[in-house]
């Protein structure tokens, strides 16, 4: 079942990455500053940054399989650009914590990938 899911994701990886990239980019750029009543808890936006960059790292890895350092550098550059653009949008601002949340999401994906690969290699050796 997991192999079938992986093959399906791999087949559609490039369109999936483009779709995720566009949705994330548009979402970061058109959202208005949150009102006090809209935020359910204090750091909801940081969790959103973390999750979106985890998904971006996953789809980028499926589509292009870059080396870890290159994937992280590309995502870091993308995060910087998004924050720089937000700095220049009236009513918005750039935050270092957003960039940190972005990178924690990307690094978390690559750590999960490393541990999954390690786990499955050990499991296959035992058979």
Give the pLDDT confidence score for residue 50 in this predicted structure: 97
Q: What is the pLDDT of residues 117-126, one digit of tens each?
A: 888 887 656 6
Q: What is the pLDDT of residues 22-41, one digit of tens each?
A: 999 998 888 766 555 555 67
Q: What is the pLDDT of residues 31-68, one digit of tens each?
A: 766 555 555 677 788 999 999 999 999 999 999 999 99
Write out the chain in H/E/C secondary structure: CHHHHHHHHHHCHHHHHHHHHHHHHHHHHHCCCCCCCCCCCCCHHHHHHHHHHHHHHHHHHHHHCCCHHHHHHHHHHHHHHHHHHHHCCCCCCCCHHHHHHHHHHHHHHHHHHHHHHHHHHHHHHHC
Query: Do the Cβ atoms of 22 and 71 come closer than 8 Å?
Result: no
Q: What is the mean pLDDT of residues 93-101?
A: 93
What is this structure's pTM?
Answer: 0.85
Query: Do the Cβ atoms of 62 and 17 come closer than 8 Å?
Result: yes
Give the pLDDT confidence score for residue 13 in this predicted structure: 86
């Amino acid at each position: 079942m997991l192999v079938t899911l992986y093959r399906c994701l791999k087949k559609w990886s490039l369109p999936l990455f483009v779709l995720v990239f566009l949705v994330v980019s548009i979402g970061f750029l058109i959202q208005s500053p949150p009102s006090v009543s809209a935020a359910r808890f204090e750091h909801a936006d940081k969790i959103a940054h973390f999750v979106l960059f985890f998904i971006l790292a996953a789809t980028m890895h499926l589509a292009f399989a870059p080396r870890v350092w290159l994937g992280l550098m590309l995502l870091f550059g993308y995060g910087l650009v998004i924050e720089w653009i937000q700095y220049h949008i009236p009513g918005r601002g750039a935050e270092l914590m957003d960039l940190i949340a972005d990178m924690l999401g990307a690094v978390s994906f690559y750590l999960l990938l490393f541990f999954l690969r390690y786990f499955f290699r050990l499991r296959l050796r035992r058979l």
